[in-house]
Amino acid sequence: MTYAKIFTLIAGVMLLTTAACNKKTDFLYKGEMLPITVKGYNGGSEDLEVKVDTFKFKYNLNSGNFNQSEAYTFRENQHTVKLTISGQETGKIVLEKELKKEEGKAVISFFYMNGQVMNMPQKEAKEDGKIKISYLFMPTLTHYSEPVDIVLGKYYFTPKVFEEITRIKNVKPNEFSETVTLSTFPTTGQQYNGQNTPVLFKAYIYKAGTNEYYTQGTAYSWHPTSSSAPTPAAPNPSSTIYIFSESEIDRSIRFNKNLEL
């Protein structure tokens, strides 16, 4: 092989390498990736579809809690893009938001129920020796529509007595309640009227302003230990938001914990 041919071959390889590097540079720097996270709770009966411009999230937001992430690549000279969340079947727009490239990673957090979008509530800071709780109550069986009091207390097995500690007053169904704070307490080694007894941390639901179960007058009965809204561990400090709904066993009311934040 002559020196001229060798030189030509080396020059060709260098040109191809340079072109490949330029293409790689174009890919890395002309197409900027925007990480997008969508999280929250879908309380509707319809799956929700997420689109960013014409790009669609791989999975829909099913009923219940969701937390999905995708990445959108901006086109050259593109600085904003519209995110749309809509019903998969009806096409009804639930949420729209403009995302800006310069703002970086986007996190969209929302709660959807009864055709309305609400911001996901923020938990209060945990505090030593304290239990902080907020609720959203979904009466999916009784369809109870009046405000209720969610009453937090101790249930003593002996002599089967419920003792109120505090209550969250006038809680509207399908809306987040205010946060209530109470002190932690042990559930073992307790006494009631001098008798040793285990203690349960329970949350009863009364008609607002009364000590009458909200199920009074419905087809469902209340069980003193099994009918309770969700509660955290009584001895440990915590800050919790619960979304819960109704269920039943032989017409005795029960509750499902749909989401814990």
**What confidence tens digit (pLDDT) does each residue in 60-87 have?**
999 888 999 999 999 888 999 999 999 9
- What CA–CA distance (Å, rounded) separates 104 from 122? 22
Task: Report whether 120 contacts 109 (CB < 8 A).
Answer: yes
pLDDT at 31: 54
Give this prediction's pTM: 0.73
Check residue 20 and give its pLDDT.
44
**CA-atom Rg of the chain in angstroms:** 28
* 3-state secondary structure at position 4: helix
Could you count the other beta carbons within 10 Å of the beta carbon of residue 180?
A: 17
- On average, the pLDDT of the chain sits at 88
CA count, 13 A, side-chain hemisphere, 116: 6
Alpha helix (H) residue ranges in 44-203: none
